[in-house]
Amino acid sequence: MEFRYILTDMGDSSEEADPIKESPLWEFVKEQEEDMQVGGESLDYLKVQLEETTRIVWHIAAENARERNVKTIEEEDVREAFKELVHPHMMLVDAREMLNKYQNEFQSMIDEDPVLPSEGGENDG
């Protein structure tokens, strides 16, 4: 299945169900970073994004169940949906790590090469 969902901007979701309650969410985030304050509309934005993420994951999980020709979304469907959601991000993280590794290897090769100029700009050879 191809990833094709984008998290939305904070919008008016007052007509929809409210699955994430503000008070427990506030208590949860405060427990995570006790020395930080919850400012402005940060909690509202977090809530909207959590709801949107849940909607996306549940939709992907439902598609996974449909592909198995069943009407029950199982834990594995949800696990696979989360994997699909974060897969593009994980690919970028892996690529960044690989590029950093290559950069370090190339720098070591440059530093050890007797023909190339040294850091001071002069040719050692």
pLDDT in tens, 36-62: 999 989 999 999 999 999 999 999 999
57 is a domain residue:
yes
58 is a domain residue:
yes
Q: Residue 51: CB partners within 8 Å, gap ≥ 6?
A: 13, 19, 20
pLDDT in tens, 10-36: 455 445 678 899 899 999 999 999 999
124 is a domain residue:
no
82 is a domain residue:
yes
79 is a domain residue:
yes
Check: CB of residue 37 under 8 Å from CB of residue 43.
no
Question: Can you list the alpha helix ranges (DSSP code H) found in 1-125?
Answer: 22-32, 42-67, 75-112
- Distance, CA of 33 to CA of 36 (rounded, Å): 6
Q: What is the reported pLDDT for 16?
A: 67
Q: What is residue 120's DSSP assignment?
A: T
Domain span at residue 81 reads 40-112
CATH number of the domain enclosing 82: 1.10.20
Half-sphere exposure of residue 88: CA atoms within 13 angstroms, side-chain side:
7
For residue 2, the SS3 value is coil
Check: CB of residue 47 under 8 Å from CB of residue 14.
no
53 is a domain residue:
yes
87 is a domain residue:
yes
24 is a domain residue:
no
One-letter amino acid for residue 115 of the chain: V
The number of distinct structural domains making up the chain is 1
| 124 vs 117, residue with greater confidence | 117
pLDDT in tens, 74-86: 999 999 999 999 9
Structure tokens at 77: 């469907």
